[in-house]
Amino acid sequence: MTVHIREVGPRDGFQNEPERIPTDEKVRLINALGRTGLQRIEVASFVRPDVIPQLSDGAEVLDRIDVPAHVRLMVLIPNSKGLDNALKVRGKFHDAAIFVSASETHNKRNVNRAIAETMADNDKMARRIREAGLGCAAVIATSFGCPYEGKVEPDKVLGLAERFAEAGATEIGFGDTTGMANPRYAKEFFAAALERLPGVEVTAHFHNTRGQGLANAFAAFEAGCTSFESSFGELGGCPVPPGSTGNIATEDLVSMFHEMGAETGISLPALIDTARDVQNVLGRKLTSHSIVAGPIDWH
């Protein structure tokens, strides 16, 4: 069994860092990630610089990184204005991701729009992304619960996913934005998503806010999901509600899948070295287990 993993640390991880990370360091770390065997990396977002200053150098990062040709690069697009800016450098990346929150309150606090407004813009952006010859992915935040509204009905989430698919998204990611999923629900949800979205790549994006991230990833895998997003060093989280800590660590996810016999194409030692390196850049210890323990050596 082959599992596909997208590294989202350079975007989803870095955006939560309070201290500005120098562009040189971002470029160096992305180049290192690109040489671990990762085949998918999310590297930038075209959000307004005053909203997330940390990502204001996205175009420069895209221009300067040097990763192997087989690595697919993704950028996150918040709205049509962001897409305008991204398309100015469209030769530098392969895939564009559009997004919405399944929770009305979270969507309003995150992008200052109602879900209906966001989806109307997403329909237009999906068409433009495809016309530009780029891969179109979609992300649904708070798919497993909202810190403001509580339970989010799966039919609402999957209805949004079906609309994205109709608009032309070939990959749809379901985000556990504040770590509210549990393994039983994750397995049920991804079984339903795979059934309702034939021909679409279904991606799991779990956070480890409450310590259940890897268990949820395993549950999604058992349901048939083979596409995941994660962040080296367990960087990231959601900048909107307080206490929303990071994504599951890519190196922990890779370690789990390798020990289960699944193929990822990723060198775990190289990935751990890069995750340890980012600690030096940030000047603090990170919460990934594999950074401390290292890979399992049965020899």
What percent of the chain has pLDDT above 90?
Answer: 93
**Residue 61 and residue 171: Cα distance in Å, rounded?**
24
**For the chain, domain boundaries:** 4-293
pLDDT digits (tens, 9 = 90+) for 162-206: 999 999 999 999 999 999 999 999 999 999 999 999 999 999 999
pLDDT digits (tens, 9 = 90+) for 239-296: 777 667 789 999 999 999 999 999 999 999 999 999 999 999 999 999 899 999 999 8
Q: What is the pLDDT of residue 260?
A: 96
H helix runs in the chain, sequence order: 23-33, 58-64, 80-87, 104-111, 115-131, 154-167, 183-196, 213-222, 250-259, 268-282, 289-293
- Mean pLDDT on 210-217: 96
Nearest residue to 186 via CA among 163, 217, 162, 165: 217
- Mean pLDDT on 142-160: 96
Tokens representing 285 are 């210890």
pLDDT at residue 22 tops 70? yes
Q: What is the pLDDT of residue 124?
A: 98
pLDDT at residue 74 tops 90? yes
Higher-pLDDT residue of 139, 240: 139
| Burial class of residue 277 (count of CB atoms within 10 Å of its CB; 0-12, 13-18, 19+) | middle
Q: What is the pLDDT of residue 240?
A: 72
Nearest residue to 176 via CA among 128, 209, 223: 209
Q: What is the pLDDT of residue 270?
A: 98
Q: What is the pLDDT of residue 298?
A: 74
* Right CATH for 4-293 from 3.50.50.60, 3.40.50.10490, 3.20.20.70, 3.10.20.90: 3.20.20.70
- Mean pLDDT on 231-241: 86
pLDDT at residue 299 tops 70? no
pLDDT digits (tens, 9 = 90+) for 32-50: 999 999 999 999 999 999 9
Q: What is the pLDDT of residue 247?
A: 95
pLDDT at residue 158 tops 80? yes
Tokens representing 32 are 């290192």
**Cβ 275 vs Cβ 247: under 8 Å:** no
Residue of 136, 146, 225, 238 marked catalytic: 238
Tell me the pLDDT band of 213, cut-offs 50, 70 and 90: very high
> 135 by DSSP, 3-state: which?
strand
- Mean pLDDT on 202-225: 97
Q: What is the pLDDT of residue 284?
A: 93
pLDDT at residue 238 tops 70? yes
Tell me the pLDDT band of 90, cut-offs 50, 70 and 90: very high
Q: What is the pLDDT of residue 243?
A: 66
- Mean pLDDT on 146-160: 96
**Residue 63 and residue 287: Cα distance in Å, rounded?**
31
Q: What is the pLDDT of residue 209?
A: 92
The reply to whether 238 belongs to the active site is yes
0.95 cut: is pTM over it? yes
Q: What is the pLDDT of residue 281?
A: 96
